[in-house]
Amino acid sequence: MITLTPYEHMAKFEIGLEMGLLSLEELRRFLTRQLRSADVPYIYTDVYLSIDKGEEEVINAIFYQLQGNYVPDRSTDSVVRRSLIGAIRSKWDLGQITTAQCVGFLEKLNDYFTADLSCAAIGEYYRLNQSGAYSDRDFSAMLGSILMQGIM
């Protein structure tokens, strides 16, 4: 089991909010659980207090809290990236997002992390699959291999 640091959690939410993958309500639920512990990192308190001000304020609060405290890992094996893939997989498995949305989120990850050829190509393979030029089985295998990189 991989555990994210508070800064990694907030980096995940910052990117997830910007991508449209995660919501303020999901962030509120996460922070509410975290704030119940005895030793709460200040970043959680600061971000929680900004939630009612809207998404832009939350993203700004996270951004400013991360500055000087967190060096983002932009590699394809980044725990934040793998956690975001896990969120995509979870939402797709639960039917909260369509396959097209799933593919779109995977493509957007390349804007934040070192380009992963499989994530970069998944959109093209999805379009080929939809046109009948690429088999359902092959597309599903490729999508599954990408989604299995995720951690929950």
Tell me, yes or no, whether 72 lies in a domain: no
| Separation CA 19–CA 112 (nearest Å) | 10
Distance (Å, whole) CA 53 – CA 36: 22
Region for residue 114 given its phi and psi (left: phi exceeds 0; alpha: psi -120 to 50; beta: otherwise): beta
Boundaries of domain holding 25 = 6-66
- Is a pLDDT exceeding 80 seen at residue 74? yes
Q: 60 and 15 in one domain? A: yes
pLDDT at res. 116: 79
Contacts of 4 (CB under 8 A, 6+ apart): 12, 79, 80, 83
Residues 93 and 125 grouped into a single domain: yes
Task: Give the residue-averaged pLDDT of 34-43.
Answer: 90
**67 vs 21: CA distance, rounded Å:** 23
Which of 15-19, 71-75, 86-90 comes out lowest in average pLDDT?
71-75
- Residue 71: inside a domain, yes or no? no
Phi, psi of 115 (to 5 degrees): -55, 130
Please state the domain count of the chain.
2
Neighbours of 105 (CB within 10 A): 21
Average pLDDT in the chain: 93
Query: Which residue, 66, 94, 115, sits at the end of a domain?
Result: 66
Instruction: Using pLDDT thresholds of 50, 70 and 90, give the confidence band for residue 39.
Output: confident
pLDDT at 115 over 80: no
Whole-angstrom distance, CA of residue 134 vs CA of residue 128 = 5
51 and 99 fall within a common domain: no
- Is pTM beyond 0.85? Reply is yes
